[in-house]
Structure 1
Amino acid sequence: EHQKDLEVLEENKISLKRRCECVAEGSDARSRTLFNNIYTDLYIIEGQSEEVNTQHEVKKLEAASKIQNLHGSPIRCHDIFKALPDQYAAIRVVLTNGVAGVGKTFSVQKFTLDWAQGLENQDVSAVVLFSFRELNLIRDQQHSLLTLLHVFHPNLQKLPAEKLAVWKLLFIFDGLDESRPFLDFSNSRLVSDITQKSSINVLLINLIKGNLLPSALVWITSRPAAANQIPPSCPIQLGVGQHV
Protein backbone atom coordinates (compact mmCIF):
# COMPACT_ATOMS: atom_id res chain seq x y z
CA GLU A 1 0.00 0.00 0.00
CA HIS A 2 2.83 2.38 0.85
CA GLN A 3 4.39 1.75 -2.54
CA LYS A 4 1.10 2.61 -4.27
CA ASP A 5 0.93 5.90 -2.36
CA LEU A 6 4.48 6.74 -3.42
CA GLU A 7 3.54 6.03 -7.04
CA VAL A 8 0.60 8.46 -6.78
CA LEU A 9 2.87 11.15 -5.35
CA GLU A 10 5.37 10.56 -8.15
CA GLU A 11 2.56 10.94 -10.71
CA ASN A 12 1.75 14.29 -9.11
CA LYS A 13 5.35 15.40 -9.63
CA ILE A 14 5.43 14.24 -13.25
CA SER A 15 2.12 15.99 -14.01
CA LEU A 16 3.28 19.31 -12.52
CA LYS A 17 6.65 19.07 -14.22
CA ARG A 18 4.91 18.78 -17.60
CA ARG A 19 2.62 21.67 -16.71
CA CYS A 20 5.39 24.02 -15.59
CA GLU A 21 8.48 23.24 -17.66
CA CYS A 22 7.35 25.21 -20.73
CA VAL A 23 5.54 28.51 -21.25
CA ALA A 24 3.85 30.12 -24.24
CA GLU A 25 5.62 33.12 -25.71
CA GLY A 26 3.75 36.12 -27.06
CA SER A 27 0.24 35.76 -28.45
CA ASP A 28 0.92 32.42 -30.16
CA ALA A 29 -0.06 29.70 -27.70
CA ARG A 30 1.68 27.12 -29.92
CA SER A 31 5.04 28.81 -29.46
CA ARG A 32 6.57 27.16 -26.41
CA THR A 33 9.89 27.75 -24.68
CA LEU A 34 11.58 26.18 -21.68
CA PHE A 35 10.57 28.04 -18.54
CA ASN A 36 14.06 27.98 -17.03
CA ASN A 37 15.44 29.74 -20.11
CA ILE A 38 13.43 32.88 -19.41
CA TYR A 39 12.93 32.85 -15.62
CA THR A 40 14.39 35.72 -13.59
CA ASP A 41 14.53 35.65 -9.79
CA LEU A 42 12.22 38.00 -7.93
CA TYR A 43 13.19 40.24 -5.06
CA ILE A 44 10.92 39.00 -2.26
CA ILE A 45 10.90 40.73 1.11
CA GLU A 46 9.20 39.98 4.40
CA GLY A 47 6.42 42.20 5.73
CA GLN A 48 3.87 44.56 4.32
CA SER A 49 4.42 48.23 3.56
CA GLU A 50 1.40 50.50 3.87
CA GLU A 51 2.23 52.32 0.64
CA VAL A 52 2.29 49.06 -1.31
CA ASN A 53 -1.39 48.62 -0.53
CA THR A 54 -2.60 52.18 -0.98
CA GLN A 55 -0.82 53.55 -4.02
CA HIS A 56 -2.21 53.16 -7.49
CA GLU A 57 -0.83 50.02 -9.07
CA VAL A 58 0.80 51.82 -12.00
CA LYS A 59 2.87 53.89 -9.57
CA LYS A 60 3.89 50.75 -7.71
CA LEU A 61 5.85 49.45 -10.69
CA GLU A 62 8.40 52.19 -10.01
CA ALA A 63 8.19 51.69 -6.26
CA ALA A 64 8.83 47.95 -6.60
CA SER A 65 12.40 48.45 -7.72
CA LYS A 66 13.06 50.62 -4.65
CA ILE A 67 11.54 48.18 -2.18
CA GLN A 68 14.91 46.67 -1.36
CA ASN A 69 15.81 49.90 0.44
CA LEU A 70 12.83 49.51 2.77
CA HIS A 71 13.41 46.01 4.11
CA GLY A 72 16.05 43.43 4.86
CA SER A 73 17.63 40.65 2.86
CA PRO A 74 15.73 39.13 -0.07
CA ILE A 75 14.05 35.73 0.29
CA ARG A 76 14.22 33.08 -2.45
CA CYS A 77 10.81 31.86 -3.59
CA HIS A 78 11.89 28.34 -2.55
CA ASP A 79 12.39 29.52 1.04
CA ILE A 80 9.11 31.30 1.73
CA PHE A 81 7.96 28.63 4.21
CA LYS A 82 11.26 28.54 6.06
CA ALA A 83 11.31 30.48 9.32
CA LEU A 84 13.59 33.52 9.43
CA PRO A 85 16.29 33.73 12.13
CA ASP A 86 14.06 35.79 14.44
CA GLN A 87 11.04 33.51 13.97
CA TYR A 88 10.41 30.42 16.06
CA ALA A 89 7.00 29.32 14.82
CA ALA A 90 6.71 27.41 11.57
CA ILE A 91 5.19 29.31 8.66
CA ARG A 92 2.01 27.65 7.41
CA VAL A 93 0.29 30.30 5.26
CA VAL A 94 2.01 32.77 2.93
CA LEU A 95 0.49 35.65 0.99
CA THR A 96 2.71 36.91 -1.83
CA ASN A 97 1.54 40.41 -2.62
CA GLY A 98 2.76 42.29 -5.69
CA VAL A 99 1.70 44.43 -8.62
CA ALA A 100 0.49 43.12 -11.96
CA GLY A 101 3.28 41.73 -14.11
CA VAL A 102 5.91 41.61 -11.37
CA GLY A 103 6.19 37.84 -11.65
CA LYS A 104 4.06 36.25 -8.91
CA THR A 105 2.82 33.46 -11.18
CA PHE A 106 6.34 32.83 -12.46
CA SER A 107 7.51 32.48 -8.84
CA VAL A 108 4.82 29.87 -8.28
CA GLN A 109 5.86 28.10 -11.46
CA LYS A 110 9.54 28.14 -10.48
CA PHE A 111 8.82 26.79 -7.00
CA THR A 112 6.62 24.03 -8.43
CA LEU A 113 8.99 23.07 -11.25
CA ASP A 114 12.04 22.84 -9.00
CA TRP A 115 10.06 20.77 -6.51
CA ALA A 116 8.79 18.47 -9.27
CA GLN A 117 12.34 18.01 -10.55
CA GLY A 118 13.51 16.99 -7.09
CA LEU A 119 15.68 20.08 -6.56
CA GLU A 120 13.95 21.95 -3.72
CA ASN A 121 11.49 21.47 -0.84
CA GLN A 122 11.51 17.69 -0.97
CA ASP A 123 9.88 17.57 2.48
CA VAL A 124 6.65 18.50 0.65
CA SER A 125 4.83 15.33 -0.44
CA ALA A 126 2.46 16.86 -2.99
CA VAL A 127 1.86 20.29 -4.52
CA VAL A 128 -1.74 21.13 -5.37
CA LEU A 129 -1.81 24.07 -7.76
CA PHE A 130 -4.93 26.14 -8.52
CA SER A 131 -5.50 29.42 -10.28
CA PHE A 132 -8.46 31.55 -9.25
CA ARG A 133 -9.21 31.98 -12.93
CA GLU A 134 -9.85 28.23 -13.10
CA LEU A 135 -11.76 28.17 -9.83
CA ASN A 136 -14.10 30.89 -11.11
CA LEU A 137 -15.38 28.41 -13.70
CA ILE A 138 -16.87 26.24 -10.94
CA ARG A 139 -17.68 28.98 -8.44
CA ASP A 140 -21.40 28.10 -8.48
CA GLN A 141 -20.76 24.45 -7.66
CA GLN A 142 -20.57 22.86 -4.23
CA HIS A 143 -17.40 20.90 -3.57
CA SER A 144 -15.56 19.24 -0.76
CA LEU A 145 -11.82 19.67 -0.56
CA LEU A 146 -11.55 16.06 -1.71
CA THR A 147 -13.68 16.50 -4.84
CA LEU A 148 -11.92 19.80 -5.61
CA LEU A 149 -8.63 17.92 -5.62
CA HIS A 150 -10.06 15.29 -7.93
CA VAL A 151 -11.38 17.86 -10.41
CA PHE A 152 -8.08 19.71 -10.84
CA HIS A 153 -5.60 16.97 -9.96
CA PRO A 154 -7.23 13.69 -11.02
CA ASN A 155 -3.99 11.77 -10.45
CA LEU A 156 -4.53 12.29 -6.71
CA GLN A 157 -7.82 10.38 -6.82
CA LYS A 158 -5.88 7.20 -6.06
CA LEU A 159 -4.64 8.65 -2.78
CA PRO A 160 -6.86 7.50 0.13
CA ALA A 161 -8.64 10.41 1.82
CA GLU A 162 -7.17 9.56 5.21
CA LYS A 163 -3.65 9.94 3.78
CA LEU A 164 -4.19 13.63 3.00
CA ALA A 165 -3.71 14.44 6.68
CA VAL A 166 -0.56 12.29 6.83
CA TRP A 167 1.33 13.62 3.83
CA LYS A 168 2.71 17.16 3.82
CA LEU A 169 0.63 18.99 1.22
CA LEU A 170 1.15 22.45 -0.26
CA PHE A 171 -1.92 24.18 -1.70
CA ILE A 172 -1.12 27.06 -4.06
CA PHE A 173 -3.87 29.52 -5.05
CA ASP A 174 -2.61 31.92 -7.71
CA GLY A 175 -4.29 35.26 -8.44
CA LEU A 176 -6.58 36.13 -5.53
CA ASP A 177 -7.46 39.38 -7.30
CA GLU A 178 -9.34 37.29 -9.88
CA SER A 179 -11.45 35.52 -7.25
CA ARG A 180 -15.21 35.82 -7.71
CA PRO A 181 -16.81 36.41 -5.30
CA PHE A 182 -14.41 37.89 -2.77
CA LEU A 183 -13.47 36.02 0.38
CA ASP A 184 -15.63 36.84 3.41
CA PHE A 185 -13.84 35.78 6.58
CA SER A 186 -16.41 37.36 8.90
CA ASN A 187 -19.39 35.32 7.71
CA SER A 188 -17.83 32.00 6.75
CA ARG A 189 -19.09 28.75 8.21
CA LEU A 190 -16.80 26.18 9.77
CA VAL A 191 -15.68 23.28 7.58
CA SER A 192 -13.25 20.78 9.09
CA ASP A 193 -14.04 17.59 7.16
CA ILE A 194 -12.37 17.15 3.74
CA THR A 195 -15.51 15.35 2.50
CA GLN A 196 -17.88 18.17 3.57
CA LYS A 197 -19.24 20.16 0.62
CA SER A 198 -19.46 23.95 0.51
CA SER A 199 -18.58 26.83 -1.79
CA ILE A 200 -15.03 27.09 -3.12
CA ASN A 201 -14.38 30.27 -1.14
CA VAL A 202 -15.55 28.71 2.13
CA LEU A 203 -13.14 25.82 1.55
CA LEU A 204 -10.29 28.26 0.96
CA ILE A 205 -11.11 30.31 4.07
CA ASN A 206 -11.11 27.16 6.21
CA LEU A 207 -7.81 26.04 4.70
CA ILE A 208 -6.28 29.43 5.58
CA LYS A 209 -7.67 29.34 9.11
CA GLY A 210 -6.37 25.81 9.64
CA ASN A 211 -9.79 24.23 10.15
CA LEU A 212 -9.23 22.04 7.08
CA LEU A 213 -6.02 20.00 7.00
CA PRO A 214 -4.18 22.06 9.64
CA SER A 215 -0.92 20.37 8.65
CA ALA A 216 -1.13 21.63 5.06
CA LEU A 217 0.83 24.62 3.76
CA VAL A 218 -1.05 27.34 1.85
CA TRP A 219 0.44 29.86 -0.59
CA ILE A 220 -1.72 32.63 -2.08
CA THR A 221 -0.66 35.26 -4.60
CA SER A 222 -2.51 38.51 -5.12
CA ARG A 223 -2.31 42.03 -6.44
CA PRO A 224 -2.25 44.58 -3.60
CA ALA A 225 -5.80 45.83 -4.22
CA ALA A 226 -7.25 42.40 -3.36
CA ALA A 227 -4.78 41.30 -0.69
CA ASN A 228 -6.71 43.01 2.12
CA GLN A 229 -9.43 40.34 1.78
CA ILE A 230 -7.28 38.23 4.08
CA PRO A 231 -7.09 39.46 7.69
CA PRO A 232 -3.52 40.27 8.78
CA SER A 233 -3.87 37.79 11.64
CA CYS A 234 -4.09 34.87 9.20
CA PRO A 235 -0.95 34.65 7.05
CA ILE A 236 2.67 35.62 7.19
CA GLN A 237 2.67 38.22 4.42
CA LEU A 238 5.45 38.68 1.91
CA GLY A 239 5.79 41.72 -0.32
CA VAL A 240 7.18 41.28 -3.82
CA GLY A 241 9.43 43.60 -5.80
CA GLN A 242 11.12 43.30 -9.15
CA HIS A 243 14.53 41.67 -9.21
CA VAL A 244 17.34 44.19 -9.69
Structure 2
Amino acid sequence: MNHTDLANTLHKKLASVYQPKLKSSLKEKFKRINEGISQHGSSALLNEIYTELYITEGWSGDINNEHEVRQIETAFRRPATQETPIKCNELFKDKSIRRVLTTGVAGIGKTVSVQKFILDWAEGKANQDITFMFPLPFRELNLMKQKNLSLMELFHHFFPEMRKLELLDCDSYTVVLIFDGLDECRLSLNFQKNERLCDVTESASVDVLLTNLIKGNLLPSALLWITSRPGAASQIPPECVD
Protein backbone atom coordinates (compact mmCIF):
# COMPACT_ATOMS: atom_id res chain seq x y z
CA MET A 1 0.00 0.00 0.00
CA ASN A 2 1.50 3.34 -1.05
CA HIS A 3 1.31 6.58 0.94
CA THR A 4 -1.72 7.86 -1.01
CA ASP A 5 -3.71 4.68 -0.43
CA LEU A 6 -2.73 4.70 3.23
CA ALA A 7 -3.83 8.32 3.62
CA ASN A 8 -7.15 7.64 1.88
CA THR A 9 -7.78 4.64 4.11
CA LEU A 10 -7.02 6.71 7.20
CA HIS A 11 -9.33 9.53 6.10
CA LYS A 12 -12.18 7.08 5.43
CA LYS A 13 -11.66 5.54 8.86
CA LEU A 14 -11.71 8.94 10.56
CA ALA A 15 -14.86 9.91 8.66
CA SER A 16 -16.58 6.67 9.68
CA VAL A 17 -15.79 7.44 13.32
CA TYR A 18 -16.66 11.14 13.49
CA GLN A 19 -19.48 11.50 10.96
CA PRO A 20 -22.01 9.41 12.94
CA LYS A 21 -21.20 11.40 16.09
CA LEU A 22 -21.72 14.71 14.30
CA LYS A 23 -24.92 13.54 12.62
CA SER A 24 -26.34 12.35 15.92
CA SER A 25 -25.58 15.67 17.59
CA LEU A 26 -27.05 17.75 14.74
CA LYS A 27 -30.14 15.55 14.51
CA GLU A 28 -30.86 16.11 18.19
CA LYS A 29 -30.28 19.86 17.88
CA PHE A 30 -32.36 20.51 14.77
CA LYS A 31 -35.18 17.95 14.85
CA ARG A 32 -37.51 20.35 16.68
CA ILE A 33 -38.40 23.97 16.01
CA ASN A 34 -39.94 26.54 18.34
CA GLU A 35 -43.41 27.72 17.42
CA GLY A 36 -44.52 31.30 17.91
CA ILE A 37 -42.44 34.25 19.04
CA SER A 38 -41.21 32.91 22.36
CA GLN A 39 -38.06 30.82 22.35
CA HIS A 40 -39.44 29.07 25.44
CA GLY A 41 -42.82 28.21 23.99
CA SER A 42 -44.03 25.00 22.44
CA SER A 43 -41.98 23.18 19.83
CA ALA A 44 -42.85 20.90 16.94
CA LEU A 45 -41.00 18.34 14.87
CA LEU A 46 -39.45 20.16 11.93
CA ASN A 47 -40.20 17.31 9.52
CA GLU A 48 -43.91 17.54 10.34
CA ILE A 49 -44.37 21.26 9.75
CA TYR A 50 -41.73 22.18 7.17
CA THR A 51 -42.93 23.67 3.88
CA GLU A 52 -40.49 23.88 0.98
CA LEU A 53 -39.60 27.49 0.26
CA TYR A 54 -39.59 29.09 -3.14
CA ILE A 55 -35.88 29.49 -3.83
CA THR A 56 -34.47 30.97 -7.00
CA GLU A 57 -31.08 31.12 -8.58
CA GLY A 58 -30.54 34.29 -10.50
CA TRP A 59 -29.41 37.88 -10.58
CA SER A 60 -29.92 40.13 -7.59
CA GLY A 61 -29.74 43.82 -8.33
CA ASP A 62 -30.04 44.61 -4.62
CA ILE A 63 -26.56 43.26 -4.03
CA ASN A 64 -24.60 43.47 -7.25
CA ASN A 65 -25.91 43.90 -10.76
CA GLU A 66 -23.00 42.01 -12.24
CA HIS A 67 -22.85 39.00 -9.98
CA GLU A 68 -25.00 35.92 -9.66
CA VAL A 69 -26.28 34.99 -6.22
CA ARG A 70 -28.81 32.54 -4.91
CA GLN A 71 -31.72 34.27 -3.29
CA ILE A 72 -34.84 33.25 -1.42
CA GLU A 73 -37.69 35.29 -2.79
CA THR A 74 -41.12 35.74 -1.29
CA ALA A 75 -43.51 33.11 -2.57
CA PHE A 76 -45.93 35.66 -4.03
CA ARG A 77 -43.36 37.46 -6.16
CA ARG A 78 -43.36 36.55 -9.82
CA PRO A 79 -39.85 35.32 -10.63
CA ALA A 80 -37.91 37.32 -13.17
CA THR A 81 -37.14 35.59 -16.44
CA GLN A 82 -33.49 35.04 -15.57
CA GLU A 83 -34.28 33.26 -12.28
CA THR A 84 -34.30 29.48 -11.97
CA PRO A 85 -36.25 27.71 -9.18
CA ILE A 86 -34.04 25.44 -7.09
CA LYS A 87 -34.65 23.13 -4.14
CA CYS A 88 -32.83 23.79 -0.89
CA ASN A 89 -31.12 20.39 -0.93
CA GLU A 90 -29.78 21.08 -4.42
CA LEU A 91 -27.81 24.23 -3.58
CA PHE A 92 -24.52 22.45 -4.22
CA LYS A 93 -25.72 20.10 -6.96
CA ASP A 94 -23.65 22.06 -9.47
CA LYS A 95 -20.13 20.98 -8.52
CA SER A 96 -18.67 24.28 -9.74
CA ILE A 97 -20.59 26.10 -6.98
CA ARG A 98 -18.57 26.47 -3.78
CA ARG A 99 -19.92 29.59 -2.08
CA VAL A 100 -23.64 30.35 -1.92
CA LEU A 101 -25.26 33.53 -0.61
CA THR A 102 -28.99 33.29 0.09
CA THR A 103 -30.90 36.47 0.84
CA GLY A 104 -34.47 37.09 1.91
CA VAL A 105 -36.54 39.41 4.05
CA ALA A 106 -36.92 38.84 7.79
CA GLY A 107 -39.25 36.01 8.73
CA ILE A 108 -39.39 34.37 5.32
CA GLY A 109 -37.79 31.18 6.63
CA LYS A 110 -34.08 31.27 5.85
CA THR A 111 -33.08 29.79 9.21
CA VAL A 112 -35.74 27.09 9.01
CA SER A 113 -34.47 26.15 5.54
CA VAL A 114 -30.96 25.89 6.96
CA GLN A 115 -32.22 23.66 9.77
CA LYS A 116 -34.05 21.40 7.31
CA PHE A 117 -30.97 21.19 5.07
CA ILE A 118 -28.89 20.07 8.07
CA LEU A 119 -31.54 17.68 9.41
CA ASP A 120 -32.01 15.96 6.04
CA TRP A 121 -28.27 15.33 5.88
CA ALA A 122 -28.07 14.14 9.49
CA GLU A 123 -30.98 11.75 8.93
CA GLY A 124 -29.45 10.36 5.74
CA LYS A 125 -32.17 11.75 3.46
CA ALA A 126 -30.10 14.08 1.25
CA ASN A 127 -26.59 15.17 0.31
CA GLN A 128 -24.92 12.01 1.54
CA ASP A 129 -21.84 12.84 -0.52
CA ILE A 130 -21.11 15.45 2.17
CA THR A 131 -18.76 14.13 4.85
CA PHE A 132 -19.15 16.84 7.49
CA MET A 133 -21.58 19.71 7.93
CA PHE A 134 -20.77 22.53 10.35
CA PRO A 135 -23.48 25.13 11.12
CA LEU A 136 -21.89 28.28 12.56
CA PRO A 137 -24.65 30.90 13.07
CA PHE A 138 -23.44 34.47 13.34
CA ARG A 139 -25.47 34.94 16.51
CA GLU A 140 -23.24 32.38 18.24
CA LEU A 141 -20.05 33.52 16.52
CA ASN A 142 -20.65 37.00 17.97
CA LEU A 143 -20.05 35.53 21.43
CA MET A 144 -16.53 34.56 20.32
CA LYS A 145 -15.69 38.10 19.19
CA GLN A 146 -12.91 38.62 21.75
CA LYS A 147 -11.38 35.16 21.33
CA ASN A 148 -8.15 34.32 19.58
CA LEU A 149 -8.10 30.73 18.37
CA SER A 150 -7.39 28.51 15.40
CA LEU A 151 -10.05 27.29 13.00
CA MET A 152 -9.76 23.77 14.40
CA GLU A 153 -10.19 25.13 17.92
CA LEU A 154 -13.30 26.99 16.74
CA PHE A 155 -14.71 23.74 15.35
CA HIS A 156 -13.87 21.91 18.58
CA HIS A 157 -15.64 24.62 20.60
CA PHE A 158 -18.89 24.33 18.65
CA PHE A 159 -18.65 20.60 17.95
CA PRO A 160 -17.02 18.93 20.99
CA GLU A 161 -17.67 15.49 19.52
CA MET A 162 -14.99 16.34 16.93
CA ARG A 163 -12.30 17.29 19.44
CA LYS A 164 -10.02 14.37 18.66
CA LEU A 165 -10.00 15.26 14.97
CA GLU A 166 -6.85 17.38 14.79
CA LEU A 167 -6.96 18.35 11.10
CA LEU A 168 -9.65 18.71 8.47
CA ASP A 169 -8.54 17.70 4.98
CA CYS A 170 -11.11 19.05 2.54
CA ASP A 171 -9.33 17.37 -0.34
CA SER A 172 -10.33 14.04 1.20
CA TYR A 173 -13.64 15.11 2.74
CA THR A 174 -16.57 17.11 1.42
CA VAL A 175 -17.19 19.74 4.09
CA VAL A 176 -20.04 22.28 4.24
CA LEU A 177 -19.86 25.36 6.47
CA ILE A 178 -23.14 27.18 7.08
CA PHE A 179 -23.13 30.80 8.29
CA ASP A 180 -26.72 31.73 9.06
CA GLY A 181 -27.84 35.29 9.79
CA LEU A 182 -25.19 37.62 8.37
CA ASP A 183 -27.48 40.52 9.30
CA GLU A 184 -26.92 39.61 12.98
CA CYS A 185 -23.12 39.67 12.62
CA ARG A 186 -21.31 41.93 15.11
CA LEU A 187 -17.86 41.21 13.66
CA SER A 188 -16.17 43.77 11.43
CA LEU A 189 -15.54 41.33 8.54
CA ASN A 190 -12.87 43.56 7.04
CA PHE A 191 -12.08 41.70 3.83
CA GLN A 192 -9.63 44.37 2.69
CA LYS A 193 -7.44 44.75 5.78
CA ASN A 194 -7.62 41.42 7.61
CA GLU A 195 -4.42 39.41 7.34
CA ARG A 196 -4.26 36.39 5.06
CA LEU A 197 -4.49 33.05 6.88
CA CYS A 198 -4.11 29.60 5.32
CA ASP A 199 -3.25 27.34 8.28
CA VAL A 200 -6.20 25.78 10.16
CA THR A 201 -4.00 25.40 13.26
CA GLU A 202 -2.87 29.06 13.39
CA SER A 203 -4.61 31.28 15.93
CA ALA A 204 -6.38 34.50 14.95
CA SER A 205 -9.52 36.45 15.80
CA VAL A 206 -12.84 34.93 14.74
CA ASP A 207 -13.24 37.89 12.38
CA VAL A 208 -10.00 36.96 10.58
CA LEU A 209 -10.96 33.28 10.49
CA LEU A 210 -14.30 34.10 8.84
CA THR A 211 -12.96 36.46 6.18
CA ASN A 212 -10.32 33.90 5.21
CA LEU A 213 -12.88 31.11 5.06
CA ILE A 214 -15.19 33.17 2.86
CA LYS A 215 -12.32 34.30 0.60
CA GLY A 216 -11.17 30.70 0.24
CA ASN A 217 -7.78 31.05 1.93
CA LEU A 218 -8.77 28.64 4.71
CA LEU A 219 -10.22 25.28 3.63
CA PRO A 220 -10.33 26.32 -0.05
CA SER A 221 -12.22 23.17 -1.06
CA ALA A 222 -14.96 23.56 1.55
CA LEU A 223 -18.51 24.50 0.51
CA LEU A 224 -19.99 27.62 2.14
CA TRP A 225 -23.60 28.68 2.57
CA ILE A 226 -24.28 32.18 3.95
CA THR A 227 -27.78 33.51 4.65
CA SER A 228 -28.66 37.16 5.13
CA ARG A 229 -31.30 39.83 4.91
CA PRO A 230 -30.77 41.82 1.69
CA GLY A 231 -29.46 44.95 3.40
CA ALA A 232 -26.54 43.16 5.07
CA ALA A 233 -25.53 41.00 2.12
CA SER A 234 -23.30 43.72 0.66
CA GLN A 235 -20.76 42.95 3.41
CA ILE A 236 -19.70 39.97 1.30
CA PRO A 237 -17.51 40.99 -1.67
CA PRO A 238 -19.10 39.93 -5.00
CA GLU A 239 -16.03 37.88 -5.93
CA CYS A 240 -16.63 35.74 -2.82
CA VAL A 241 -19.90 34.34 -4.20
CA ASP A 242 -20.04 31.75 -7.00
Q: Specify the TM-score bucket, using the shorter chain as the normaliser.
A: 0.7 to 0.9
> Structure 2 matches for 1:1-244, cutoff 5 A?
2-26=12-36, 27=38, 29=40, 31-51=42-62, 65-83=76-94, 90-161=96-167, 163=169, 165-236=171-242
**In structure 2, do the counterparts of structure 1 residues 144 and 40 end up closer, same or farther at CA, with 3 Å as the change threshold?**
same
Structure 2: state its 5+ residue gaps.
Answer: 1-9, 65-71
TM-score by length of 1: 0.85
Structure of higher RCO (CA pairs closer than 8 Å, 6+ residues apart) = 1
Task: Report SS of the residue matched to 1:166.
Answer: coil
CA distance in 1 between counterparts of 2:28 and 2:74 reads 35
Deviation at 1:81, TM superposition (A): 1.2
AA aligned opposite 1:224: P
1:165 shift after superposition: 4.9
2:68 maps to: none
Identity of aligned residues (%): 48
SS at match of 2:204: coil
Q: TM-score, normalising length from structure 2?
A: 0.85
Distance 1:113 1:62, change over 3 A: closer
Total equivalences in the alignment = 225
- Which whole-Å CA distance do the structure 1 matches of 2:168 and 2:45 have between them? 37
Amino acid aligned to 1:15? S
What amino acid is the match of 2:29?
Answer: R
Alignment partners' CA distance in 2, 1:52 and 1:194:
30
Greater mean alpha carbon deviation, residues 118-127 or residues 63-72: 63-72
Asked if structure 2 preserves the Cα contact closer than 8 Å seen for 1:170 and 1:217, the reply is yes
Residue ranges of structure 1 left out of the alignment (5+ in a row): 54-60, 84-88, 237-244
d(CA) in 1 for partners of 2:178 and 2:145?
A: 17
